[in-house]
Amino acid sequence: MIGTLIGLIQMLSQLQDQSKLGPAMAVSLITSFYGALLANLVFTPLANKLELKSQIESNRREMMLEGILTIQSGVNPRILEDKLKTYLSPIERKKYQETIIQGNAVTENE
């Protein structure tokens, strides 16, 4: 948008000479095109990815804080486990359950 404004300022400052209006307008339009292209192809996807990573980090920190406070209050570990599982996505819960089942199978074989 800054490039567009600069192009428009150049265009308006050249109103006396009609032959210079075209190149100034071209600068204004091409910078608008580049700005829209970069915004939609680079910066918007990048912002979405950063927002997702920020939400994941915030969720993990909230989960850790909940676990620490629950341990400090002396709650039963099984209740703590159930409480912390609510922070996991369904896919993560399934992986967790599979890990627990595999861990039980290993200890039974020993």
- Has residue 84 been placed in a domain? no
Other beta carbons within 10 angstroms of residue 15's beta carbon come to 10
- Has residue 22 been placed in a domain? yes
CA distances (Å), 84 to each of 21, 89, 98, in order? 65, 11, 17
* DSSP H helices in 2-110: 2-13, 21-38, 44-73, 77-85, 90-109
- The domain total for the chain is 1
- Has residue 61 been placed in a domain? no
Q: What is the pLDDT of residues 67-108, one digit of tens each?
A: 999 999 999 999 999 999 999 999 999 999 988 888 766 555
What domain range includes position 48?
A: 1-53
* pTM score, whole prediction: 0.63
